[in-house]
Amino acid sequence: MLNFDHAASTPAHPDVVATVAQVMEAHSGNPSSIHRAGQDAARLLRRAREVCAAALGVTPGEVLFTSGATESNNLAIKGTMLGRSDGRNHIVTTAIEHASVYASCRQLEDFGFEVAYVRPEADGTVSPQRLLEAVNERTALVSVMHVNNETGAVQPVEEIGRRLKSLHPRALLHVDGVQGFGRLPLDLQAAGIDLYSVSAHKNGGPRGVGLLMVRSGVKLLPLLSGGSQENGMRAGTENVASIVGAAKAFRLAAEGQAQRAARLNALRETLAAEVRRHGALTLTEPAQAAPHIVHFTFPGLKSQVILHTLEELGVLVSAQSACAAKTEKPSRVLEAMGRDRPHATSGIRLSLGEEHTQEQIRLLSEALDKAVGRLAPFEGRKR
């Protein structure tokens, strides 16, 4: 099987697997225990926090470990809004955020908060001007993703951050960095980012671990109550082995970013050219595309049908995103971009990673040729 679904999850890096196994075998303490085994685990946790902080260019005190980016996004959004006492109850986000941001905002609306969902331009890029026009004096939080997980559109978060901080310095900026980290450079400090979410399993790390960078001085209401772990911000015994593995994955991802981006961009260009060759497919072409995502639509067919045809041909891809894969509903992201129903229900994401080579792109292109040949006669029948 050829796995072209690296935006959903990446194969674990062998060094990470070895590290996780080693920590699980050799360290059984609870980092909150004050005896030797506990302190040993606490030391591992401290070191992992330092490694993550260096990978992100922040201080260790600004790193909060979570169960993944879904939790990081929930905590960034609900924690910020529920923890306020200054009466500002307005959020600005975009209509194309990951489900964990979108659903958090929707939930807050049920509790009386106001949310502006800014639509992207037709190419999937959010205009900083349109976003900033939605911000007002009551806005407590702006939440924008770095890279859209469905289309691969890179969002101008640096410009958004710079302009937001000069116009509305009291509004906090949260960036969901899950699909950008390790693929694109981003200076969190220069971009004025107060909260930043990342996920280990998108970078060769274990599933079920993530972190939230919380800029020093930013106050959040914890979502999990109990012990005083994570500086009182997240109760529960830390997943020490996975956190140590995640730290290794984040370090490798940050160190290899420039090289990885150059390599993936070259693969992406070949693949995009292959998609463009097919008259039946519409390549999604954002102003700036992330190095690892190629997205197209096959109007007249359902995403799931295309996905399963490619699977029969030995290729794993994604319909919309992994979280939305089981629904036949039109993609919220493509609809927000103004795509009609035949396009919005036929999106396919191909995503690249460490293991891919030009040879694998060639094999994928062959499978794509066959899939288009098989499916083109059915195109439009069920419109």
Would you tell me which residues interact with ligand PLP (CB under 6 A)? 68-70, 73, 98, 100, 145, 149, 176, 178-179, 199, 210, 321-323
Between 148 and 282, whose beta carbon lies closer to ligand PLP? 148
Task: Dump strand ranges (E) for the chain.
Answer: 2-3, 63-66, 90-94, 114-118, 139-145, 172-176, 195-199, 210-214, 282-283, 293-297, 315-316, 347-351
176: left (phi over 0), alpha (psi -120 to 50) or beta: beta
CB of 51 to ligand PLP, least distance (A): 19
Between 210 and 347, whose beta carbon lies closer to ligand PLP? 210
Residue type, 30: N
CB of 207 to ligand PLP, least distance (A): 7
Between 303 and 321, whose beta carbon lies closer to ligand PLP? 321
Residues belonging to the chain: 383
Query: How far is the C-alpha of 352 from the C-alpha of 130, rounded, in Å?
Result: 31
Largest CA distance in the chain: 69
Closest CB to ligand PLP: residue number: 68
Query: How far is the C-alpha of 156 from the C-alpha of 153, rounded, in Å?
Result: 10
Give the bridge partners for 197, in sequence order: 176, 212
Catalytic residue among 24, 323, 325, 376: 323
Between 69 and 193, whose beta carbon lies closer to ligand PLP? 69
CB of 9 to ligand PLP, least distance (A): 8
Residue 52 known to be catalytic: no
**Cβ–Cβ under 8 Å, residues 149 and 179:** yes
Residue 205: name the closest of 260, 147, 247, 149 by CA: 247
CB of 137 to ligand PLP, least distance (A): 29
Query: How far is the C-alpha of 124 from the C-alpha of 343, rounded, in Å?
Result: 14
Between 73 and 309, whose beta carbon lies closer to ligand PLP? 73
Catalytic residue positions, numbered: 323
